[in-house]
Amino acid sequence: MPQSIRSQAYVGGEWCDGAQGRRYPVVDPATGSEIATVPDMDDDDATRSIKEASAAFESWSETSPKVRATLLHDWSRLILENRDRLARLIVLEQGKPLGQALGEVTYGTTFIDWYAEEGRRVYGDTIKANDTRQRIVVTKEAIGVCAAITPWNYPLAMVTRKIAPALAAGCTVVVKPSESTPLSALALAELADQAEFPAGVLNVVTTNHPAQVGATFTRSNLVRHLSFTGSVEVGQILLRDASRTIKKCTMELGGNAPFIVFADADLARAVDALMASKFRNSGQTCVCPNRVFVERSIYPEFLSRVLDRVIRLKIGNGFDDEVDIGPLIDGEAVAKVERHIEDAVDRGGSVHIGGGQYGSTGTFFLPTVITGINPDMDLAREETFGPVVAMMAFDEEDDVVSLANATPYGLAAYLFTCDYERVIRVSERLQFGIVGVNETAVSNEIAPFGGIKSSGLGREGSRYGIEEYLEMKYVCFGLSR
């Protein structure tokens, strides 16, 4: 294990093991080898960390926003100073190519810097009362202890995206990173410790028993906000359980993004955008195009351009030079992609390139292009989360809008066309929280990221993101005359 890897949990400002002393291994998906072991914490450990966060809440919430901003900026600066080390850790535990991991570290800090400033711009209202003997003042206050359950696909940035607004708002946090990728979250805690955040403000609980720790969060009355990124199934469990203690929840539950290319689109631009967004992180992002709809007259040309690009993609260990595609996170992820391809082929789809695993070690999957998909196929109904371009032709604008919307998900959608009236018509009719027009780079700290329908509740990023962590209070002052 490299010396610089933190392998204990971080609770109440101390590095610690679980009360039971159990540990579990973290594995490099590119090689299958163990990188480190971390504490396999349980409900007692989670309860203790909630108590630590609760004990720290009073003074943190009363700390001036300017002081909190300074600490957040210090933390961000330390993260950037350690960018190379953190990026290497991301490659080790998650597998993405080093260039993308470096990008993730920078992207992760943008949320910290943005919310350091947004925390200083939390405004209230005064409202003219009906009764002249009353004064009405509305304030926004930190909601309390926040629990964050984060996924493995962006093990660093999904942590900062959740906790930066919480900390800036004056909340204290307990983070439970994905069991597959806890090391980046621990490294972030180490740098927060160096930045001298007060003990208990940020806690990281590692576990291989996510359901147990998740249930401790939802059951706790001290936890006033739960933020989750992951599958709809787990989101439903958490929402159901959180209802017992009526807590505010932010849910990012994945997508099934349509990518629509009209015949009048700038084809080169559409192909570039598809390649960048589909194969980023080996297709393991919740905004990556899952269904590609191409107008029939340009379908052969579009397919041939995509194939020409896919054939040149380099697959391999994220540390190797010029690698475009790293491994999938684990065997289960590979099995899901295989199931989707098998189902599509059984129902008449054609694989043009790829279609199977790559190499004898790790969990690599070949970049794949499959055509002739239809809405009944698993890969059109579910998020594939792998390097698979699934394409079908369409004839009419109305048809493609209906097809695009025919999913319970509603996170991101993309359309490519040069007809501005169509841009307005189609973007208004797409039932998604994010619409990219001739653009797929939609995720940043200044815009509200989030979905509608089964894709979730609430927004991350932008001035709206901090609202999730604030509670409104209305004070009515009565005067005697």
Query: Where on the chain is the footprint of ligand ADP (CB under 6 A)?
Result: 149-151, 178-179, 210-211, 214, 230-231, 234, 237-238
Tell me phi and psi for residue 321, to 5 degrees.
Answer: -65, 140
Q: Which helix (H) or strand (E) holds 212?
A: helix 210-219
Q: Which of 452, 450, 451, 469 is nearest to 460 (CA)?
A: 450
- Is 286 catalytic? The answer is yes
* Distance of closest approach, residue 258 Cβ to ligand ADP, in angstroms: 21
CB of 382 to ligand ADP, least distance (A): 11
Q: Which two tokens stand for residue 5?
A: 């890897």
* Smallest distance, ligand ADP to C-beta of residue 226, A: 9
Q: Give me the phi and psi of 220, to 5 degrees please.
A: -75, 130
User: Between 231 and 438, whose beta carbon lies closer to ligand ADP?
Assistant: 231
- Residue with Cβ nearer ligand ADP (238 or 298): 238
Which of these, 365, 307, 372, 310, lies nearest to 344 by C-alpha position?
A: 372
User: Among residues 104, 190, 252, 460, which one is catalytic?
Assistant: 252
Give the rounded distance of the alpha carbon of 440 from its chain centre.
Answer: 16
Taking the complex as a whole, the smallest distance from the CB of residue 67 to ligand ADP amounts, in Å, to: 31
Let me know if 249 is a catalytic residue: no
**Cα separation of 291 and 409, whole Å?**
12
Residue number, 100 or 178, with CB nearest to ligand ADP: 178
The nearer residue to ligand ADP, 142 or 158, going by C-beta atoms, is: 158
**Which one of 286, 382, 383, 467 is the catalytic residue?**
286
At 50, which amino acid appears? Answer: I
- Is the CB of 136 or the CB of 215 nearer to ligand ADP? 215
Residue in the shown chain whose Cβ atom is closest to ligand ADP: 214
Least distance to ligand ADP from the beta carbon of 222, Å?
17
CA distance 167 to 146: 9
Three-class SS state of 373: coil
Backbone angles phi, psi at 78, to 5 degrees: -65, -40
286 Cβ contact list (under 8 Å, min separation 6): 153, 229, 252, 254, 255, 383, 411, 412, 455
Active-site residues: which are they?
252, 286
